[in-house]
Amino acid sequence: MDIIQQESIHTLKALTQSAAKVAVVGHTHPDGDALGATTGLALALLSRGKKDVCCVFSDTPADNLQFILSPEVTYLFQDRNAEKAEACIREADLVFLLDCNAFDRTEGLKDALEASSARKILIDHHLNPDRSRFDAAFSTPEISSASELLYWVLKALEWDVTLPVGTALLTGMTTDTNNFANSVYPSTFRMASELIAAGVDRDALLQKIYSSYRENRVRLMGYMQYEGLRLLPGGGAYMILTRDIQRRFDLREGESEGLVNVPLTIGAVRLSLLLKEDEGHFRVSIRSRKGTSAQALAQRYFHGGGHENASGGKLFIGPDIASPQEAATFVENALKDFLK
């Protein structure tokens, strides 16, 4: 894999060897890839004899992703214990940033990362990585996930990919590709094939990822598709998950995962948005068909970015729209302008 340069592998090896305290950091609102990659790397470092390793996130993972967390690994969540989470980054002499392209994607941890004098390594697959901040950067959008990229980095390091490491990485890749539906490359199948041959239980994984939801989630998916879906001429689609709807269905973090993909199963739709109302803003998820750029829309209208066909951003109440009720009009105008 040309993305993995021998020079960066040497740097990673040397920095890991000399590091006493390692912080492994993932992006805000961690998804399966961020959790799988950080867990996989922490486990790999522990099995290499590193004693002081912690994974740090700005917020606690959704209930349905908690199964990815390993009992062997120390996790620190800033929303639970800000002092400990920030101290871990402050005291680390080596920091890994996984599944995000820049410090600000960790939200509340950004200041701690900027203040840190630790050596830093990036392992990511988003567009436009902030390479200047890192001693070594492994980054390409031509790969399924950070978990897959980490797998090939571990292979290049000639470190053992143990069963727990492999399980974490296969989980991250599976969730980021939506179970092999998008961003799949020949290397992705190779990774999966090698891990399954090594004994990773994919059936058990799929059960945990896709068949362990609460009833309310299935009902919400039905409700949003029946009542909430708006289709626009030109191939745009959007849904707004207001606070009211979230309350009505007792929605928890992570339970609307996958909903944004549903409108793209309609032949005429090429761009789908899901807005989820939060404190002072809407979280915006964007998915697009090949040939239409979710990334460009996210960047132009929603202060965001990510991948060409899967991006995210925010719509702020105050700066962008005067009240939550104006979200629909904002989205319709943005889509009208973008899809013309």
3-state DSSP percent of the chain in helix, strand and coil, to 5: 45, 20, 35
| For Mn ion, the closer CB: 164 or 312 | 312
Q: How far is the CB of 295 from Mn ion (least distance, A)?
A: 14
The count of C-alpha atoms lying within 13 angstroms of the C-alpha of 189, restricted to the half-sphere facing its C-beta, is 5
In whole angstroms, the minimum distance from the beta carbon of 62 to Mn ion comes to: 15
User: Of the two residues 191 and 327, which places its CB atom closer to Mn ion in the complex?
Assistant: 191
* Residue 31 vs 277, nearer CB to Mn ion: 31
DSSP string for residues in 260-310? GGGGGGSTT--EEEEEEEETTEEEEEEEE-TTS-HHHHHHHHSS-EESSSE
Q: Which DSSP string do the residues of 170-224 spell out, in sequence order?
A: HHHHHHHTTTTTSS--HHHHHHHHHHHHTT--HHHHHHHHHS---HHHHHHHHHI
Q: How far is the CB of 169 from Mn ion (least distance, A)?
A: 12
What is the closest distance, in whole angstroms, from the C-beta atom of residue 95 to Mn ion in the complex? 18
Q: For residue 292, what are the CA distances in angstroms to 272, 284, 337?
A: 11, 17, 14
Strand, coil or helix: 81: coil
Alpha carbon distance 9, 329 (integer Å): 49
Nearer of residues 32 and 263 to Mn ion, judged by Cβ = 32
**Of residues 33 and 255, the one with the C-beta less far from Mn ion:** 33
Asked if 277 interacts with Mn ion (CB under 5 A), we say no
Q: How far is the CB of 33 from Mn ion (least distance, A)?
A: 3
**Least distance to Mn ion from the beta carbon of 339, Å?**
26
Which of 21, 23, 40, 99 binds Mn ion (CB under 5 A)? It is 99
Is 148 a residue that touches Mn ion (CB under 5 A)?
no
**Coil vs helix vs strand at 63:** helix
Between 146 and 224, name the residue whose CB sits nearer to Mn ion. Answer: 146
Q: Is 33 in the site for Mn ion (CB under 5 A)?
A: yes
> Smallest distance, Å, CB 232 to Mn ion?
28
CA distance 140 to 128: 9
How far is 263 from 246, CA to CA, in rounded Å? 19
The count of chain residues that interact with Mn ion, using the rule CB under 5 A, is 5
Q: Which is nearer to Mn ion, 236 or 304 (CB)?
A: 304
Q: Near Mn ion by CB under 5 A, which window of 30-38, 189-197, 209-217, 235-243?
A: 30-38
Residue list 174-203, contact with Mn ion (CB under 5 A): 176
The answer to whether 64 and 175 have CB atoms below 8 angstroms apart is no
Residue 173: half-sphere exposure toward Cβ, Cα within 13 Å: 28
Chain residue at closest Cβ approach to Mn ion:
33
Interface positions with Mn ion (CB under 5 A): 33, 99, 145-146, 176
